[in-house]
Amino acid sequence: MQIGILGGGRVGVSLARRWTAAGHDVTISTRDTIAETAADKDVVLLAVPAAAVGEVLAAAGALEGTVVIDATNNLSGGPDGAAIAAMASRAHVVKAFNTVGNTFISGPIQVLNYSYFDKEFPETFRTAMQIRESIEKHGWKKVVAFQTRNPMHRAHEELVRMAMDREKADGAVIHMLLGKLKPGDIPADVRDAAIRKMVELYFPPNTVEITGYGFDMLYAGPREAVLHAVFRQNMGATHLIVGRDHAGVGSYYGPFDAHHIFDEIPEDSLETRPLKIDWTFWCYKCGGMASARTCPHDDADRLLVSGTKLRKWLSEGAEVPAEFSRPEVLAILREYYEGLAAHERVEVKLSGHSAR
């Protein structure tokens, strides 16, 4: 696809990189090449300050029949989306990426309700302030937080234990997402039961809090990892575990993009610190769970543990290696899958990092 980008700022350059990586032919304009960049393109991206839109569209020409993606915002003045569509009336204008209006509302915040979360998950749902109070009650000073949308398999268990040992943490908060997931993921009540059983049997008493929060998974990769760090800072955690492909989907993000973003934001922008943890796996020679940091052995001696593989085996009724999950957790998960009708089962495909 031939794509012309009008504007060489952050939005234009970022999208150019993505589109080029996807195999498209991308050109970014300069002030002197606007008409040339826009001519004979399948798609034109408009990514200039809103105040400059009139001048840029005039230089671009008619753009007749061209798909124009309007990525401008008019927060500092200039035409809005409707006005820009009128200026390029012979093009097919689509508003995207910057869709925030120029009106802001401020004032005290009052929570009217917590949707269904506090009613359906009374033992698990907690607000940030409630979690802070619980941490203070325990007397914990250094607290590791673990974000999960899955039942915890052996690699997850090892991540929490490894993080607590590394930071000499007083306790850990397993903070599970209770909102909507993608088809085929395991529902919150089953995850809750599985995680509670694992903590009950395999962690010392009074070292782990199990809580949940009402939020839908966004699958926004590194940016969502930063959002998760803000959530955990609000609830009083000093550290957030950031593992492989945090908040990712398929192979869209790199396996450690969520690590790198914390090196790009200002150092003092967060009080909660990321704990960047490498691949975790079962090592047959070590005789247990390990990470790339702790294990000296080759890939042939390692079994990579992933939630996607576990869901695939469970959904197909296949045997699950003992190294993947605790037997008591597997019993809970098998009961759930055995109770699904045929039309409720979703085919789980391995892709990206999970296919390794």
- Indicate whether 104 belongs to any domain: no
Structural domain count of the chain:
2
Pick from 120, 183, 155: nearest CA to 329: 155
Confirm whether 347 is domain-assigned: yes
Annotation marks residue 293 as catalytic: no
The whole domain housing 80 covers 2-95
Q: Are 169 and 198 in contact (CB under 8 A)?
A: no
Question: Are 42 and 127 members of one domain?
Answer: no
The residue out of 95, 127, 159 marking a domain boundary is 95
Q: Which of 42-56, 71-85, 111-125, 146-160 has the lowest mean pLDDT?
A: 71-85
**Same domain flag for 61 and 156:** no
Residue 77 has pLDDT above 60, yes or no: yes
Q: What is residue 229's DSSP assignment? A: H
* pLDDT above 70: percentage of residues in the chain: 96
**One domain, residues 187 and 42:** no
Residue 247 lies in a domain: yes
200 and 301 both lie in a single domain = yes
- The confidence score (pLDDT) of residue 62 equals 87
Instruction: Name the residue with tokens 């055995």.
Output: 338
Domain boundary among 95, 126, 152: 95
Instruction: State the CATH number of the domain containing residue 230.
Output: 3.40.50.620
Considering the domain architecture, whether residues 88 and 145 belong to the same structural domain is answered as no
Q: What is the pLDDT of residue 355?
A: 52
311 or 297, greater pLDDT? 297
Q: CA 147, 151, 156: angle at the middle one, nearest 5?
A: 60
Instruction: State how far the Cα of 309 lies from the Cα of 268, in Å rounded to an integer.
Output: 38
Q: Which residue has better confidence, 150 or 346?
A: 150
Least confident window among 201-210, 245-254, 339-348? 339-348
Neighbouring CB atoms inside 10 A of 217's CB total 15
Q: 201 burial class (0-12, 13-18, 19+ CB within 10 angstroms)?
A: exposed
Q: Are residues 61 and 170 in the same domain?
A: no
| Active-site residue (options: 73, 74, 149, 311) | 149
pLDDT at residue number 100:
65
The pLDDT of residue 217 is above 60: yes
Instruction: Give me the phi and psi of 5, to 5 degrees please.
Output: -115, 120
20 neighbors 2 (Cβ within 8 angstroms): no
Is the pLDDT at 205 greater than 90? The verdict is yes
Nearby residues of 344 by Cβ (< 8 Å), 6 or more positions away: none
Count other C-beta atoms under 10 Å from residue 200's C-beta: 12
Average pLDDT for the chain: 90
The answer to whether residue 112 sits within a structural domain is: no
Tell whether 89 is covered by a domain: yes
Q: Are residues 186 and 331 in the same domain?
A: yes
**110 found inside a domain:** no
Same structural domain, 137 and 71: no
In a shared domain, residues 17 and 79? yes
Residues 186 and 315 in one domain: yes
Give the pLDDT of residue 99. Answer: 67
Q: Considering the domain boundaries, does residue 161 fall inside one?
A: yes
- Please pick, among 150, 191, 302, 326, the residue that the annotation labels catalytic: 150
What is the tens place of the pLDDT at every residue in 80-137?
Answer: 889 999 999 999 999 988 766 667 788 998 989 999 999 999 999 999 999 999 999 9
Residues 129, 9, single domain; the answer is no
In a domain, 335, yes or no: yes
Residues 6+ apart with CB under 8 A from 105: none
Q: For the stretch 137-163, what's the b/e string if a residue is b when 16 or more beta carbons lie within 10 angstroms of its beta carbon?
A: eeebeebbbbbbbbbbbbbbbbbbbbb
Higher pLDDT pick, 274 / 51: 274
* pLDDT value at residue 352: 54
Instruction: Give mean pLDDT, residues 254-260.
Output: 92
Identify the burial level of 68 via C-beta atoms within 10 angstroms of its C-beta, where 0-12 means exposed, 13-18 middle and 19 or more buried. buried
71 with 166, same domain? no
**Listed residue (342, 67, 348) closest to 181, CA to CA:** 348
Question: Can you give the CATH number for the domain in which 15 is found?
Answer: 3.40.50.720
Catalytic site residue 102? Answer: no
Q: Which of the given ranges, 157-161, 212-216, 227-231, has the highest pLDDT on average? A: 227-231
Are 60 and 44 within 8 A, CB to CB? yes
